[in-house]
Structure 1
Amino acid sequence: MTKAFKGLEGLCRLLIFAGFVVLMASVLLQVFSRTFLSTAPVWTEELTRFCLIYIAALGAGLALRSGDMVNVDLICESLPGRAPRALRLVSALVTAGFALALLPAAWEFTRIGVRQTAPSLAWRMDFIHASMIVLFVALILWAALRVYEMLTGRHDGRPIPTSEDN
Structure 2
Amino acid sequence: MRQIERGFVTANGAILVIGLMVMCVTVGWNVAGRYVTGNSLSWADEVSRYSMIWLTFLGSGLALREGAHAAITNAQDALPTSGQRAMRALILIIMFAFFGFMVWVGLDYMNRTAFQKSAALRVPMKWVYAAMPVGFALMIVHLALIAPKYWRAGQQQSDEAAIG
Pick the TM interval, shorter chain. Answer: 0.7 to 0.9
1:69 aligns with 2:69: yes
Q: Which amino acid aligns with 2:158?
A: P
**Offset at residue 162 of structure 1 (A):** 4.6
Q: Residues 30-49 of structure 1 correspond to what in structure 2 (within 5 A)?
A: 30-49=30-49
SS at 1:83 equivalent? helix
1:158 aligns with 2:136: no
Number of the residue aligned with 2:22: 22
Residues paired across the two proteins, number = 160
Deviation string for 1:127-166 (max 9, x for gaps)?
1111011111012112222334456xxx524121255xxx
TM-score (norm 2): 0.85
Aligned-residue CA RMSD (Å): 2.0
Number of the residue aligned with 1:114: 114
Q: Which amino acid aligns with 1:86?
A: A
Q: Which amino acid aligns with 1:42?
A: S
Deviation string for 1:42-75 (max 9, x for gaps)?
2111111111111111111111111111111344
**Offset at residue 11 of structure 1 (A):** 1.1
**Offset at residue 86 of structure 1 (A):** 3.3
User: Which of structures 1 and 2 has the larger relative contact order (alpha carbons within 8 angstroms, sep 6+)?
Assistant: 2
Using the aligned pairs only, state the percent identity.
22
Contact 1:67 1:159 in 2 (8 A): yes
Number of the residue aligned with 2:128: 128
Q: Which amino acid aligns with 1:161?
A: S
TM-score (norm 1): 0.84
**Offset at residue 117 of structure 1 (A):** 1.1
* Structure 2 residues without counterparts, runs of 5 or longer: none
Q: Which amino acid aligns with 1:156?
A: A
**Offset at residue 30 of structure 1 (A):** 1.9
Number of the residue aligned with 1:10: 10
* Structure 1 residues without counterparts, runs of 5 or longer: none
